Amino acid sequence: MWESICLTLAATAGNNIGKVLQKKGTVILPPLSFKLKVIRAYAVNKAWVIGFLMDIFGALLMLRALSQAPVSVIQPVSGCGLAILSIFSHFYLKEVLNAVDWMGITLAGIGTIGVGAGGEEQEPSSISIFQLPWLAFVVSILFVLLNGWLRICKHQRREQELIEFEVVEEIIYGLESGILFGMASVISKLGFVFLEQGFPTMLVPVCISISICCSGTGFYYQTRGLKHGRVIVVSTCAAVASIVTGVVAGMLALGERLPSAPTARFSLLLGWLLIMIGVVLLVSSSRLVRHFRWPSRRIMKSGLVRTGSQRVKDSGPSAVIPAATLHQLITSTAKEKA
């Protein structure tokens, strides 16, 4: 079990860090196209090539991890990729991490240990080949409902002549992308389970191909949400939906079970919870920090205003001449002149 968790951590680190390096390399590169000059420019860019290879290597490691452990263990642990990316950004890209970031990294790490301690090897249960169409049907129904809800929200926004996305639309795009990411892991695992049960070997590449399509479609929905919506809402919903989908679909479609021992079950459930909290904290850390800084700034400003007003009141009497004294001075001066 620990070997699979280590493979998952290495895989998600490769995926996330690889994408950062690719993005860093594309800063000086033209938009990707099939022109020979453009392809050559990408091929000689060191940062982009290393990031691309790390991304591919991470995907292969994830497939290896899925072939050894349940999806209900692998998918939550993959959420720690954001924590690994934060540490990489801090030491390599010299980005500053705040207290909320470190708290999220710590919780994600503790949750990973809990999942590793509570997870157990499971014997593959008998699965019918009709599970794949059943999964596709359930996901299709779910997406029909979500897209119908999205159309209603867009129609209401147009009637009210609003330009910016509403929160509901951001949540829907995040949920759709997260569900597809979770289903990609479940379908990949389904191919390996078919292989263990003696089904034709061709089912493995078929399932992996469907998994790649799910991931690509998930990135499409996530990109649409990020283009017009807020990153914090879309990313949080996508991360949580991905973990929940992997766990629920793994148990319902693949017959995965919770550990029989109460201690192991509690450790696994607590690990899932801590990982999700850690991911949410990492995604929303900047906003949380601004939220906590704003009341403190208001308190400091009100304190300064009060102190300043007290100083004005204290210094006032020594500088202001009373009206009676001023009247006496003017009267005496007039008499002397007369």
From first to last of its 338 residues, what are the pLDDT tens digits of the chain?
Answer: 778 888 888 888 888 788 778 777 777 777 767 788 888 888 888 888 898 888 888 888 888 888 787 887 887 888 777 778 778 777 877 777 788 888 888 888 888 777 777 766 666 566 666 666 777 788 888 888 888 888 887 777 777 766 555 667 778 888 888 888 888 888 888 888 888 888 888 888 888 898 888 888 888 887 777 666 666 677 777 878 887 888 887 777 777 777 777 888 888 888 888 888 887 887 777 777 777 765 555 555 555 445 444 444 444 444 444 444 444 444 454 444 44
Contact 72, 247 (CB under 8 A): yes
Q: How is residue 73 written in tokens?
A: 């263990």
Contact 206, 254 (CB under 8 A): no
Contact 129, 317 (CB under 8 A): no
Give the long-range contacts of residues 205-210, CB within 8 A, separation 24 or more. Answer: 207/132, 208/63, 210/132
Phi, psi of 197 (to 5 degrees): -90, 5
* Residues 22-74 pLDDT 10s: 777 777 777 767 788 888 888 888 888 898 888 888 888 888 888 787 887 88
Q: What interhelical angle do 262-283 and 285-319 show, nearest 10?
A: 50
Return d(Cα 232, Cα 283) in angstroms, integer.
Answer: 6
Exposure class string for 147-169: b at 16+ Cβ within 10 A, else e: eeebeebeeebeeeeeeebeebb
Whether the pTM exceeds 0.75: the reply is no
Contact 98, 205 (CB under 8 A): no
Contact 249, 127 (CB under 8 A): no
